[in-house]
Amino acid sequence: MKLKTPAPTEQEQLKKREEVTLWAKEVLADPNTLIVDVETTGLPSRDPETEVVSIAMINSEGRIVLAGLVNPQRPIPLEAQKVHGIDDRMVKDAPPFKVIGNLIAGTMEGKRVVCYNAGFDVHLLVTLFQRYNINIPDFDVQCAMEAYSAFVGDWAKSKNDYKWQKLPHLAFGKSHDALVDCESTRLLLMKMAGDHSADPNPNDIDLSF
């Protein structure tokens, strides 16, 4: 029987937040950081043949490294379309993963790959590399969701760990857009690092129109 871990004390939680802040600063200062997000045809846990329909990669300064639609070469289920808004017509002329997989793998090579829920995005990418006989790149994986969940500090007795938090919608644009979610992740890293320079300033808003 697995013993229950007690919820962290106030002092332990403060220390955890400090650790996450240091980590976020390190990630943002690392020129090898690559923030990655994918949108898909569904969930691999329900559909082993899940494919990517959109992928985005940005660096720690917010510059786009790679971004675009991907043709899954299969119909996109309506349930997935309702989440990310990408339909079959939109990906009709996009390249399939088996064509751009080597480019994706090459971009990830040697990088610190940061995702919000890395267990989903990175696991799917590795699965697709294997499916299409693409060499799996050598990279380091770090999960911004796990870091943020520890930063927030909501303890879930049922899972004996921190409660997972949804990605805050911090970037301009629609959530569940791969590029928007990458930028939201980067802005969240900045907040965890204590850098609020990207926060909107109400004094800069001109309402004289």
Give tens-digit pLDDT for 83-110. 999 999 999 999 999 999 999 999 999 9
Residue 207: band (very low, low, confident or very high) from pLDDT cuts 50, 70, 90: low
pLDDT at 160: 87
pLDDT at 191: 97
pLDDT tens figures, 114-150: 999 999 999 999 999 999 999 999 999 999 999 999 9
Looking at every residue in the chain, the average pLDDT score rounds to 93
The 10 Å Cβ neighbour count of residue 182 is: 28
Distance, CA of 139 to chain centre: 15
pLDDT at 4: 74
Instruction: Show the tokens assigned to 104.
Output: 């994706």
- Maximum Cα–Cα distance across the chain: 65
Mean pLDDT of 47-53: 96
pLDDT at 1: 47
Question: Which CATH fold topology does 32-193 show?
Answer: Nucleotidyltransferase; domain 5 (3.30.420)
pLDDT at 33: 98
> Identity (one letter) of the amino acid at 17?
R
Cα dihedral angle (73, 39, 119, 22), rounded to 10 degrees? 150
Q: Is the pLDDT assigned to residue 71 strictly greater than 60?
A: yes
pTM summary value: 0.91
Distance, CA of 53 to CA of 90 (rounded, Å): 10
Mean pLDDT of 5-17: 91
**Which among 66, 70, 74 has a CA at the least distance from the CA of 105?**
66
Residue 25: band (very low, low, confident or very high) from pLDDT cuts 50, 70, 90: very high
pLDDT at 42: 96
Instruction: Show the tokens assigned to 128.
Output: 């697709």
Map out the domains of the chain as residue ranges: 32-193
Residue 198: band (very low, low, confident or very high) from pLDDT cuts 50, 70, 90: confident
